[in-house]
Amino acid sequence: MFSDERRQEILKMLEQSGRVLAKDLASKFEMSIDSIRRDLSIMEEQGLLKRTHGGAIPVTNVRMMARPPSIRYGEGSEYQNAIAKLAVSYIKDNQTVFIGGAAIHYVMLKYLPKEIPFTVLTNSVEIAYHLRNSDNIQTYIIGGQVKNSGNITDALATDFARQFTVDLCFATAGALSAKGLSTATPEVAVFHKTVYNNSRKVVALVEHFKIGNDMFSGMYPVKKLNIIITDEETTGEQVDLLKAQGVEVLIAAIEKN
What average pLDDT does the segment 110-138 reach?
A: 97
Mean per-residue pLDDT for 47-74?
A: 68
Q: Provide the pLDDT for residue 193.
A: 98
Q: Tell me what percent of the residues of the chain surpass a pLDDT of 90.
A: 69
- Which has more pLDDT, 4 or 123? 123
pLDDT in tens, 100-111: 999 999 999 999
* pLDDT over 90 (residue 225): yes
User: Do residues 67 and 61 make contact, with C-beta atoms less than 8 angstroms apart?
Assistant: no
Helix axes 22-29, 33-45, angle to 10 degrees: 110
Q: What's the confidence (pLDDT) of residue 71?
A: 56
Average pLDDT over residues 232-239: 93
In a domain, 21, yes or no: yes
DSSP alpha helix (H) spans, the chain: 3-17, 22-29, 33-45, 69-72, 78-87, 103-108, 125-131, 155-161, 186-197, 236-243
Mean per-residue pLDDT over the chain, rounded: 91
Contacts of residues 130-133 at CB distance under 8 Å and 24 or more positions apart, as own/partner, are: 130/106
Specify the higher pLDDT residue, 215 or 200. 200
Q: Is 146 among the domain residues?
A: yes
Q: What is the pTM of this model?
A: 0.80
Q: Please give the average per-residue pLDDT across 188-207, as a whole number.
A: 97
* Residue 65 scores a pLDDT above 90: no
Question: What's residue 62's pLDDT?
Answer: 47
Please say which residue of 58, 81, 99 terminates a domain.
Answer: 58
pLDDT the model gives residue 234:
92
Which residues make beta-bridge pairs with 99?
170
Q: What is the pLDDT of residue 46?
A: 76
Q: Is residue 191 part of a domain?
A: yes
Q: Are residues 47 and 83 in the same domain?
A: no
Q: Which domain holds residue 247?
A: 69-252
The domain that holds 100 is classified in CATH as 3.40.50.1360
Final residue in a domain of this structure, among 58, 80, 101: 58
257 within domain boundaries: no
- CA atoms within 13 Å, Cβ hemisphere of 140: 15
Examine residue 63 and state whether it is found in any structural domain, yes or no. Answer: no
Domain CATH number, residue 51 = 1.10.10.10
Q: How many domains does the chain have?
A: 2
Q: Label residue 183 by pLDDT band (50, 70, 90).
A: very high
The C-alpha atoms of residue 117 and residue 138 are separated, in whole angstroms, by: 8
Q: How many CB atoms lie within 10 A of CB 5?
A: 9
